[in-house]
Chain A
Amino acid sequence: MADTLEKLKERFGDDVLLTHSFRGDDTALVRREQLLEVARFLRDELSFEMLTDETAVDLLHMAPDETFFPAGDRFEYVAHFYSLSRNLRVRIKARCPENDPRLPSLYSLFKTANFMEREIYDMYGIAFDGHPDMRRILLYDEFEGYPLRKDYPYDKEQPLIPMRTRRGEPQS
Chain B
Amino acid sequence: MSDKLTIASNENAVDQAAVDEEGFQTEHMILNMGPSHPAMHGTIKITAELDGETIVRSDVHVGYLHRGFEKECENSNYFQCFPYVDRLNYVSPMINNVAFAGVVEKALGVEVTERTKWIRVLISELSRLSDHLTCVGASAMELGAMSAFLYMIKAREYIWELHEAISGARLTVSYCRIGGLMRDLPDGFVPWCRANLAKIREVVLESQKLLAKNRIYFDRMRGVATITKEEAISYGFTGPMLRACGVEYDVRKATPYLVYDEIDFDVPVGEFGDNYDRFYVRMLEMEQSIRIIEQVLDRMPEGPINLYDPRFQLPPKDEVYNTIEGLVNHFKLIMHGIQIPKCEAYFAVEGGNGELGFYLVSDGTGRPYKVRCRPPSFIQMGAMSRLLEGQSIADVVPTFGMINMIGGECDR
Asked if B379 and A23 make an inter-chain contact with CB atoms under 8 angstroms apart, the answer reads no
Please provide the 5 A-B residue pairs with the shortest distance between their CB atoms, ordered closest to farther: A112-B236, A115-B382, A138-B63, A53-B374, A55-B372
Asked if A112 and B379 make an inter-chain contact with CB atoms under 8 angstroms apart, the answer reads yes
Contacts of B359 in A (CB 8 A): 53, 55, 78, 80
Contacts of A116 in B (CB 8 A): 379, 382
Chain A residues packing against B (C-beta within 8 Å): 22-23, 25, 27, 49-53, 55, 57, 61-63, 65, 68-69, 78, 80, 84, 87, 89, 91, 110-112, 114-116, 119, 123, 132-133, 135, 137-140, 147-148, 154, 167-169
Asked if B372 and A53 make an inter-chain contact with CB atoms under 8 angstroms apart, the answer reads yes
The interface-forming segment of B64-72, B121-129, B200-208, B325-333 is B64-72
Asked if B75 and A89 make an inter-chain contact with CB atoms under 8 angstroms apart, the answer reads no
Asked if A138 and B369 make an inter-chain contact with CB atoms under 8 angstroms apart, the answer reads no
Q: Mark B1-31, 1 if CB is under 8 A from A, else 0.
A: 0010110111000000000000000000010
Interface status of B363 (Cβ within 8 A of chain A): yes
With A and B bound together, what is the CA distance between A154 and B357 in angstroms?
A: 25
Q: Mark B222-264, 1 if CB is under 8 A from A, else 0.
A: 0000000001011110100000000101000011000000000
With A and B bound together, what is the CA distance between A172 and B231 in angstroms?
A: 43
Contacts of A147 in B (CB 8 A): 68, 71
Contacts of B177 in A (CB 8 A): none
Asked if B247 and A139 make an inter-chain contact with CB atoms under 8 angstroms apart, the answer reads no
Question: Are A111 and B6 CB-contacts (below 8 A) given A53-B359, A138-B63?
Answer: no
Asked if A51 and B343 make an inter-chain contact with CB atoms under 8 angstroms apart, the answer reads no
Asked if B386 and A133 make an inter-chain contact with CB atoms under 8 angstroms apart, the answer reads no
Q: How far is the CB of B234 from chain A (nearest CB, A)?
A: 5
Residue of B nearest to A150 (CB): B74
With A and B bound together, what is the CA distance between A55 and B370 in angstroms?
A: 10
Asked if A137 and B9 make an inter-chain contact with CB atoms under 8 angstroms apart, the answer reads no
Question: Are A84 and B357 CB-contacts (below 8 A) given A62-B363, A112-B234, A154-B71?
Answer: no
Interface status of B346 (Cβ within 8 A of chain A): yes
Q: Mark B375-396, 1 if CB is under 8 A from A, else 0.
A: 0001101110010000000000
Q: List 12 A-B contacts (CB under 8 A).
A: A23-B109, A52-B355, A53-B359, A61-B363, A89-B255, A111-B236, A112-B383, A115-B382, A138-B66, A139-B63, A139-B66, A167-B9
Q: How far is the CB of B401 from chain A (nearest CB, A)?
A: 19
Interface status of B209 (Cβ within 8 A of chain A): no
Q: Mark B101-123, 1 if CB is under 8 A from A, else 0.
A: 00000110100000000000000
Residue of B nearest to A114 (CB): B382
Q: How far is the CB of B373 from chain A (nearest CB, A)?
A: 9
Interface status of B182 (Cβ within 8 A of chain A): no
Asked if A25 and B255 make an inter-chain contact with CB atoms under 8 angstroms apart, the answer reads no
For chain B, what secondary structure do more than half of its interface residues adopt (helix, strand, loop), or is it mixed?
mixed
Asked if A115 and B378 make an inter-chain contact with CB atoms under 8 angstroms apart, the answer reads yes
Interface status of B37 (Cβ within 8 A of chain A): no
Q: Interface residue count for B (Cβ, 8 Å)?
A: 50
Residue of B nearest to A136 (CB): B63
Asked if B254 and A87 make an inter-chain contact with CB atoms under 8 angstroms apart, the answer reads yes
Q: How far is the CB of A39 from chain B (nearest CB, A)?
A: 12
Residue of B nearest to A91 (CB): B346
Question: Are A138 and B411 CB-contacts (below 8 A) given A78-B359, A133-B5?
Answer: yes
Q: How far is the CB of A20 from chain B (nearest CB, A)?
A: 9
With A and B bound together, what is the CA distance between A169 and B9 in angstroms?
A: 8
Residue of A nearest to B61 (CB): A137
- Known pairs A55-B370, A111-B382 / 16 extra A-B pairs, C-beta < 8 Å: A25-B345, A52-B357, A52-B374, A53-B374, A62-B369, A68-B344, A87-B255, A89-B346, A111-B235, A114-B382, A116-B379, A132-B3, A138-B63, A138-B412, A147-B68, A167-B10
Contacts of A135 in B (CB 8 A): 6
Q: Mark B343-354, 1 if CB is under 8 A from A, else 0.
A: 111101000000
Interface status of B62 (Cβ within 8 A of chain A): yes
Asked if A137 and B342 make an inter-chain contact with CB atoms under 8 angstroms apart, the answer reads no
Q: How far is the CB of A30 from chain B (nearest CB, A)?
A: 16
With A and B bound together, what is the CA distance between A169 and B10 in angstroms?
A: 11
Question: Are A148 and B71 CB-contacts (below 8 A) given A53-B372, A80-B359?
Answer: yes
With A and B bound together, what is the CA distance between A63 and B378 in angstroms?
A: 32
The 8 Å CB contact of A50, one of B9, B71, B236, B386, is B236
Contacts of B346 in A (CB 8 A): 25, 53, 80, 89, 91
